[in-house]
Amino acid sequence: MKPSCSFPEKPEAVYYFGTCLADLLYADAGMAGIRLLQREGVRVIYPRGQSCCGQPAFNSGFQDEAREVAAQQIVQFPKNLPIVIPSGSCGAMMTRHYEELFQGHPLHEKAQSFSARIFELSEFLVNVLNVKLEDRGDPVKVTWHSSCHAKREYGLGDEAKQLLRQLKNVELVELERENECCGFGGTFSVKFPAISGVMAQDKSADVMQTGADLLLSTDCGCLMNINGALEKQKSQVQSQHFASFIWNRTHVS
């Protein structure tokens, strides 16, 4: 978990980096994140030219291709404002790997400023905006999968769980092996589908074991993977990005 000094005062405005997975597959989660920020009185700016942090190519060893795509992101976020992301994995890519990726590149300094302004959504809601939630939803039992990149690479703490614990009708049950990888791993799931598939099945079995109605997480990659395995096994357990879940239960329609 980051030390509290690494968080800024509440800003007037923030940038929002939606991530490619949220853009294509979890648009509601992306939107929910924006709404949660706006509700706290923060102006949200969504630069239209954004696409992807570059992680898929970077993790596959295609550094030049990753750099070109990453460069395109950096120039979209020029003002000195926090950049909030509904993903710890993309956050890890942008905070941990841009420094090396842009070593000796004309954008190096801008990349450094960009990386320093990155915040994962849940940590921003808790540590910067000090969000207080009022639950308007029905009683529900949920469980939590911890994204490996969010926890181990980005260094995300348990802020999302802190938010869930504010919701009085939500029972959070612990998932056995919560911190074990779900098997997604980006291109790993494509290159080694059999190994990845077994990991996803094991994870979904653990999820079903909890008796929860819903699985939540910070990262769309994990959710897509685990949800796929749950559906394949015809499980009743649904899955959702934590931002969608929180927004849906707390906003006044």
Partner 1 sequence: MSAKANHSPHRLSEKAFFESSGSALKDPKLRRNFKRAMNGLMEKRRDIFPDASELEETRGRAGGIRRKTLAYFPELLEKLEANCESNGIRVHWAETTEQANQIVLEIARSTNTRLAVKGKSMVSEEMHLNAFLEKHDIEAIESDLGEYIIQVVNELPSHIIMPAIHKNLEEISQLFQEKVDPNRSSESAEEMTATARLILRQKFHDADMGISGVNFAVAETGTLCLVENEGNGRFSTTLPKVHVAVMGIEKVVESLQDLPPLLKMLTRSATGQPITTYFNMISGPRREGELDGPEEVHLVLLDHGRSKIYEDELLRETLLCIRCGACMNHCPVYTRIGGHAYNAVYPGPIGKILTPQIEGIESVGYLANASSLCGACVEVCPVKIPITDILLRLRRNRVRKKNARHWTDLNGGKSLMELMTWKGWKQVLSQPSLYRTQASLLSRIGNLLPAQIPVLRQWARSRSLPRFSKKPLHRLVEEAGIDHE
- Nearest approach, Cβ of 6 to partner 1 (angstroms)? 19
Residue 103 DSSP symbol:
T
Nearer to partner 1, 111 or 148 (CB): 148
- Figure out which of the listed residues 198, 209, 211, 251 binds partner 1, where binding follows CB under 8 A: 198
Query: Is 44 a binder of partner 1 (CB under 8 A)?
Result: yes
Query: Is 14 a binder of partner 1 (CB under 8 A)?
Result: no
Interacting positions 199-218 with partner 1 (CB under 8 A): 199-202
- Figure out which of the listed residues 60, 162, 166, 238 binds partner 1, where binding follows CB under 8 A: 60
Interacting positions 137-196 with partner 1 (CB under 8 A): 148-149, 152-153, 179-181, 183-196
- Figure out which of the listed residues 224, 237, 243, 246 binds partner 1, where binding follows CB under 8 A: 224
Query: Is 197 a binder of partner 1 (CB under 8 A)?
Result: yes
Query: Is 225 a binder of partner 1 (CB under 8 A)?
Result: yes
- Nearest approach, Cβ of 102 to partner 1 (angstroms)? 15
- Nearest approach, Cβ of 7 to partner 1 (angstroms)? 22
φ, ψ of residue 47 to 5 degrees: the values are: -60, 130
- Nearest approach, Cβ of 194 to partner 1 (angstroms)? 6
Q: Where are the beta strands (DSSP E) in the chain?
A: 13-16, 43-45, 83-85, 118-120, 140-144, 170-173, 214-217, 238-241
- Figure out which of the listed residues 170, 215, 229, 237 binds partner 1, where binding follows CB under 8 A: 229
3-class DSSP assignment, residue 54: coil
Among 250, 225, 249, which residue's Cα sits nearest to residue 239?
225
Query: Is 121 a binder of partner 1 (CB under 8 A)?
Result: no
Nearer to partner 1, 8 or 197 (CB): 197
- Figure out which of the listed residues 6, 24, 109, 165 binds partner 1, where binding follows CB under 8 A: 24
**Sequence-separated (6 or more) residues with CB below 8 Å from residue 135:** 166, 167, 168, 169, 170, 249, 250
Residue type at position 65:
E
CA angle 228, 148, 24 (to 5 degrees): 45
Sheet holding 214-217, edge to edge: 170-173, 140-144, 214-217, 238-241
Q: How far apart are CA 126 and CA 136, in angstroms?
A: 19
- Nearest approach, Cβ of 12 to partner 1 (angstroms)? 12
3-class DSSP assignment, residue 216: strand
- Nearest approach, Cβ of 228 to partner 1 (angstroms)? 3
